[in-house]
Amino acid sequence: MTRHTHEAHHGADLKEAARDQLVASGEQWTEMREAVFAALSTFKQPASAYDIAAKVSEARGRKVAANSVYRILDLFVTSNLARRLESANGYVANEHPGCLHDCIFLICDDCGKATHLDDDGLAGGVRKAAEGAGFSAQRPVIEVRGRCGDCAD
């Protein structure tokens, strides 16, 4: 099994890494994008656009529409600043936005925590199987549902 390791960013360092990645991709780091990323990065489990919009609205003192947040989250996903977890219908901040790789998420059905693993070997097998079926896998994301170590005890 091939594991990919790197330093995860947190707090202000994460926000700086996200800003640098977005600007390097040719996009602008606006005040609203910063507010959405700041809110997203505070959640301990996958957050919906509505959760993020509520947090940004509270911080800004005025209502922010969820559809505006969705557009920003779509940009964040394509720019590798965030990951979308389909089974949780939510988003998580990518703690290493400068590094593009395939992801495995372990999602706890009890507490909702999503643990991110990097294992390019397993995802490489998914890519190979997709190629064999004539499909070009752009961004494999594998989600495993179950119980985390804390909840299993």
| CATH, residue 88 | 1.10.10.10
Q: What is the pLDDT of residue 33?
A: 97
Would you say how long the chain is, in residues?
Answer: 153
**What's the confidence (pLDDT) of residue 9?**
54
The CATH code of the domain that includes 121 is: 3.30.1490.190
What pTM was estimated for this model as a whole? 0.82
Rg, Å, the chain Cα set: 16
Q: Examine the fold and report which residue of 93, 126, 142 is the final residue of a domain before the chain moves on.
A: 93
Residues of the chain below pLDDT 50? 1-4
* Predicted local distance difference test score (pLDDT) of residue 141: 78
Same domain for 84 and 18: yes
pLDDT of residue 1: 40
Contact 57, 125 (CB under 8 A): no
pLDDT at residue 64 in the model = 95
Residue 82 sits in the same domain as residue 109: no
- Whole-number pLDDT of residue 8: 60
Residue 31 belongs to some domain of the structure: yes
Residue 139 CA from chain centroid, whole number: 12
Q: How far apart are CA 47 and CA 39, in angstroms?
A: 10
Look at residue 10 in the predicted model and tell me its pLDDT. Answer: 54
Which tens digits make up the pLDDT trace of 80-103? 899 999 888 899 998 877 676 677
87: left (phi over 0), alpha (psi -120 to 50) or beta: alpha
Distance in angstroms (rounded) separating the CA atoms of residues 73 and 49: 8
Give the range of the structural domain holding residue 140, as residue numbers without chain letter.
103-152
Report yes or no: 32 and 68 within 8 Å, Cβ to Cβ.
yes
Q: How many domains does the chain have?
A: 2
| 120 & 62 share domain | no
